[in-house]
């Protein structure tokens, strides 16, 4: 239309088709209802939508946003400038450099990174390995570590175990939690149905198993042997987190066999953080404080 030199007459102000709208426009307007019709449109003529956009942009900058708004006592553009000036600068975020991923090692026990093949010890074949590569360092880790929390009842061992399990899931590690009694029931059922080896293989899919409350109830020799098979199948294959109210010296009574307990402990502590928690029971302390408060 602009190339023909014709001039456009506006439709009545209430026609919803006018004025034409530019979806890319991000200007700020003092009021919405009736503002164009009463302040901008009267006396304006437009040769094309582009001409309309030019005029409205100029008008918003030079006239509309320079007026004082009664609601805020200032003109919107000045208030916007003050708000922007008061904003704190975002901290600079260093670019992410390097690779951190987890994958199962193939039979060729080579890990390809950025077109290069890195050899890994053949003992890691079939295992999940953690690969870390930066500009200066390359490493593959596949030896899992265990955590053993020892201490009297009520000092927070289970809370810590659950917190560590949740943290592991946040890092995309599959986790399975149960009490020692629950694990005994699971293993006994699998053994009775002839599926123990299948169950142990299935449990190796989990990066972390949490066994809570070892020592609260003793196990018979058959259950102790099942626990030993669970620990042996996880040895250097996956991590175990155990909480117990019994020191290692008394695990022989828990598992009904000193030899089985010693072999089990030997595999657990080989790659493990053993943490002993001391102190009074939080449950007893809270009850004592409540009793004092009610006196």
Angle between the N-to-C axes of helices 196-203 and 221-234, in degrees from 0 to 180, rounded to the nearest 10: 40
Query: In the prediction, which pLDDT does 5 show?
Result: 41
With beta carbons less than 8 A apart as the criterion, state whether 226 and 196 touch. Answer: yes
Query: In the prediction, which pLDDT does 19 show?
Result: 43
Query: In the prediction, which pLDDT does 91 show?
Result: 76
Query: In the prediction, which pLDDT does 266 show?
Result: 94
With beta carbons less than 8 A apart as the criterion, state whether 52 and 91 touch. Answer: no
**Ramachandran region, residue 123 (left: φ > 0; alpha: ψ -120 to 50; beta: rest):** alpha
**SS3 labels along 60-83:** HHHCHHHCCECCCCECHHHHHHHH
For the chain, the straight-line distance linking the first and the last C-alpha, in angstroms and rounded, comes to 91
Query: In the prediction, which pLDDT does 186 show?
Result: 96
Please give the backbone phi and psi of residue 125, each rounded to the nearest 5 degrees, phi first: -60, 130
Sheet holding 146-150, edge to edge: 175-179, 208-214, 239-244, 146-150, 272-276
Query: In the prediction, which pLDDT does 263 show?
Result: 93
Determine the 3-state secondary structure of 185 from DSSP: helix
Q: Is residue 230 reached through a cis peptide bond, with omega within 30 degrees of 0 on the bond before it?
A: no
Q: How confident is the prediction along the chain (295 residues), in pLDDT tens digits per residue?
A: 434 444 444 444 444 444 444 444 444 444 554 666 777 778 788 888 888 888 888 877 777 666 677 777 777 667 777 777 788 777 777 777 777 777 777 777 677 776 777 777 676 676 667 777 777 766 666 667 899 999 999 899 999 999 999 988 887 789 999 999 999 999 999 999 999 999 999 998 898 999 999 998 899 999 999 999 999 999 878 899 999 999 999 999 999 999 999 999 999 998 888 999 988 887 777 667 666 667 6
Determine the 3-state secondary structure of 237 from DSSP: coil
Q: C-alpha angle 205/210/212, rounded to 5°?
A: 155
**What token pair was written down for 13?**
């102000």
Which helix (H) or strand (E) segment holds residue 159: the answer is helix 157-170
Q: pLDDT for 189-219, tens place per residue? A: 999 999 999 999 999 889 899 999 999 889 9
The Cα 174–Cα 169 span in angstroms is: 6
Query: In the prediction, which pLDDT does 70 show?
Result: 73
Residue pointed to by tokens 């990174």: 113
Q: What is the DSSP letter of 40?
A: I
**What token pair was written down for 281?**
């029971």
Contacts of 201 (CB under 8 A, 6+ apart): 233
Residue pointed to by tokens 């590569």: 133
The Cα 134–Cα 137 span in angstroms is: 5
Half-sphere exposure of 260 (CA within 13 A, CB side): 19
């Amino acid at each position: 239309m602009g190339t023909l030199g014709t001039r456009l007459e506006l439709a009545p102000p209430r026609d919803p088709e006018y004025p034409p709208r530019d979806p890319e426009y991000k200007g700020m307007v003092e009021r919405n209802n009736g503002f164009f019709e009463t302040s901008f449109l009267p006396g304006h003529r437009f040769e094309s939508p582009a001409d309309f956009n030019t005029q409205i942009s100029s008008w918003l900058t030079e006239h509309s946003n320079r007026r004082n708004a009664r609601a805020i006592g200032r003109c919107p553009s000045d208030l916007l400038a003050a708000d922007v000036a008061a904003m704190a600068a975002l901290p600079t975020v260093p670019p992410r450099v390097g690779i951190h991923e987890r994958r199962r090692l193939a039979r060729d026990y080579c890990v390809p990174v950025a077109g290069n093949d890195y050899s890994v010890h053949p003992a890691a074949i079939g295992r999940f390995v953690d690969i870390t590569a930066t500009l200066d360092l390359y490493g593959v880790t596949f030896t899992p570590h265990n955590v053993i929390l020892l201490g009297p009842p009520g000092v927070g061992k289970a809370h810590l175990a659950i917190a560590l399990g949740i943290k592991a899931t946040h890092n995309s590690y599959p986790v399975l939690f149960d009490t020692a009694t629950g694990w005994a029931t699971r293993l006994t059922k699998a053994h009775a149905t002839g599926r123990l080896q299948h169950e142990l293989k299935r449990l190796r899919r989990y990066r972390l198993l949490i066994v809570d409350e070892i020592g609260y109830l003793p196990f018979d020799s058959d259950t102790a042997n099942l626990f030993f098979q669970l620990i042996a199948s996880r040895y250097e294959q996956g991590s175990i987190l155990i909480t117990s109210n019994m020191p290692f010296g008394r695990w022989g009574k828990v598992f009904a066999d000193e030899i089985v307990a010693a072999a089990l402990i030997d595999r657990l502590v080989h790659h493990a953080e053993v943490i002993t928690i001391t102190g009074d029971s939080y449950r007893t302390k809270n009850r004592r404080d409540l009793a004092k408060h009610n006196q």
